[in-house]
């Protein structure tokens, strides 16, 4: 099949590695000679069991999980985790949250249904244009965990390092920079991520739980599907088979690329190309503070909305998609997750230069 590829800068669901898509395409009707698609087979049969095993083994190896963590392949996106985390760990207790954008706000809202929430920092007053320094965090002193959003898709900001929580377990919504760089995993009590930015198709959520933290989960009068202790270590119900299947190939692709160190290096190079172009003069203006800039979502504005509209229209004609910024920020957003090739970023930089020449 002749398959053209756009330069895809979608914020999510987002670009996947072409190799992964081509492999899935080849197998979609007949999975490795079994005479049926992987989406037509029992999730307890040998084919899916092997995929599940491989995906867990690869994820564990890539993140260095060792024996201290449980992995859930779940459904419902980060949005369901917003409530599952407090349902399990902050029921009639207190937890600390860092508010760095729309997703943090939603997580805080859901946590308040179940327990007390102490907001340790908020950048809402400056339209979420920055990430706090550690000296700006003010804790409740009795938090069960410290929740943060590692990358803010909408506002183009990202934690460079994990916040210093003074020993309190971190709970992280890592949806939009999951597997984009190495993590200090031992500091996390829970790390969760919707797959649809860096890991696979929408409909799969990856949840990683530290075993000693998991022991603190609520056990009385809980709904089975919302209970982490009930869900770990078993296929409680039918998993999102296609999502895990694609995720397993994405993990294979990450290892083939050299793992998270190599991926991180490539992501830094890609982001630098764009930020260098933005900082060249004041034709393009980054919306996030420099020290808080995301390597995943590069947000910038032009001098007026008419010019921004022209930029987006002309970029489409140049074979680029997904560059329109979120309405909360306006302007342009280039999402350059793991699977966005460097060539696409280079094409965008060239387009930005030409657009400046024509309109500067």
Looking at residues 223 to 242 of the shown chain, list those that interact with a second copy (rule: CB under 8 A): 223-226, 236-242
Q: Measured from the CB atom, is 131 or 339 closer to a second copy?
A: 339
Closest CA to 148 of 209, 204, 89, 82: 82
152 makes contact with a second copy (CB under 8 A): no
Exactly one of 51, 52, 55, 82 binds a second copy (CB under 8 A); which one? Answer: 82
Interaction mask 92-131, a second copy, x per CB under 8 A = --------------x--xx--xx-----------------
**Would you state the structure tokens that stand for residue 21, as one six-digit string?**
């898509």
Exactly one of 64, 76, 115, 341 binds a second copy (CB under 8 A); which one? Answer: 76
Q: How far is the CB of 222 from a second copy (least distance, A)?
A: 7
Q: How far is the CB of 89 from a second copy (least distance, A)?
A: 14
Q: Measured from the CB atom, is 6 or 310 closer to a second copy?
A: 6
Query: Which residues, numbered 250-309, are part of the site for a second copy (CB under 8 A)?
Result: none
325 makes contact with a second copy (CB under 8 A): no
Q: How far is the CB of 34 from a second copy (least distance, A)?
A: 7
360 makes contact with a second copy (CB under 8 A): no
Query: Which residues, numbered 4-63, are part of the site for a second copy (CB under 8 A)?
Result: 4-6, 8, 10-16, 18, 21-22, 24-26, 28-30, 33-37, 39-43, 45
Count of residues binding a second copy (CB under 8 A)?
A: 71
Within 10 angstroms of residue 230's Cβ, the number of other Cβ atoms is 15
For 253-260, which contacts have Cβ atoms below 8 Å and span 24 or more sequence positions?
253/17, 253/19, 253/20, 254/62, 254/179, 254/338, 255/58, 255/61, 255/62, 259/62, 260/62, 260/63, 260/179, 260/180, 260/181, 260/182, 260/183
Q: Exposed, middle or buried by CB within 10 Å (0-12, 13-18, 19+), for 125?
A: exposed
Q: How far is the CB of 294 from a second copy (least distance, A)?
A: 18
Q: Measured from the CB atom, is 120 or 340 closer to a second copy?
A: 340
Q: Measured from the CB atom, is 24 or 65 closer to a second copy?
A: 24
**Would you state the structure tokens that stand for residue 184, as one six-digit string?**
């200090």
Exactly one of 101, 143, 243, 325 binds a second copy (CB under 8 A); which one? Answer: 243
For 123-127, which contacts have Cβ atoms below 8 Å and span 24 or more sequence positions?
123/99, 124/99, 127/155, 127/328, 127/329
Contacts of 151 (CB under 8 A, 6+ apart): 157, 158, 159, 174, 175, 176, 177, 180, 294, 296, 297
Q: How far is the CB of 156 from a second copy (least distance, A)?
A: 17
Q: Measured from the CB atom, is 205 or 267 closer to a second copy?
A: 205
Exactly one of 67, 92, 135, 221 binds a second copy (CB under 8 A); which one? Answer: 221
């Amino acid at each position: 099949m002749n398959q053209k590829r756009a330069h895809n800068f979608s914020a999510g669901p987002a670009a996947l590695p072409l190799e992964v898509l081509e492999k899935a395409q080849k197998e979609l009707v007949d999975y490795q000679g079994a005479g049926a698609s992987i989406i037509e087979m029992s999730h307890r049969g040998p084919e899916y069991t092997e995929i599940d095993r491989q995906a867990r083994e690869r994820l564990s190896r890539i993140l260095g999980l060792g024996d201290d963590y449980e992995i859930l392949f779940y459904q419902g996106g980060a949005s369901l985790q917003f409530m599952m985390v407090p349902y399990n760990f902050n029921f009639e207790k207190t937890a600390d949250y860092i508010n760095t954008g729309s997703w943090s706000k939603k997580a805080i809202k859901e946590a308040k249904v179940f327990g007390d929430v102490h907001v340790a920092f908020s950048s809402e007053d400056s339209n979420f244009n920055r990430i706090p320094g550690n000296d700006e965090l003010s804790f409740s002193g009795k938090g069960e965990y410290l929740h943060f959003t590692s990358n803010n898709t909408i506002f183009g900001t990202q934690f460079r390092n994990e916040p210093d929580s003074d020993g309190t377990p971190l709970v992280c919504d890592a949806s939009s920079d999951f597997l984009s760089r190495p993590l200090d995993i031992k500091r996390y009590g829970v790390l969760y991520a919707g797959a649809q930015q860096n890991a696979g198709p929408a409909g799969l959520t990856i949840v990683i739980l530290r075993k000693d933290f998991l022991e603190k989960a609520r056990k009385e009068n809980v709904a089975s599907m919302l209970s982490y202790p009930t869900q770990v270590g078993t296929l409680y119900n039918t998993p999102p088979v296609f999502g895990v299947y694609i995720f397993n190939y994405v993990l294979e692709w990450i290892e083939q690329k050299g793992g998270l160190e190599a991926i991180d290096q490539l992501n830094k190079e890609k982001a630098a190309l764009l930020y260098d172009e933005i900082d060249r003069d004041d034709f393009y203006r980054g919306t996030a503070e420099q020290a808080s800039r995301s390597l995943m979502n590069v947000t910038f504005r032009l001098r007026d909305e008419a010019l921004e509209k022209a930029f987006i229209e002309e970029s489409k004609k140049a074979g680029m998609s997904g560059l329109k910024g979120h309405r909360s920020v306006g302007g342009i957003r280039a999402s350059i997750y793991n699977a966005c090739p460097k060539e696409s970023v280079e094409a965008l930089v060239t387009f930005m230069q030409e657009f400046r020449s024509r309109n500067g």
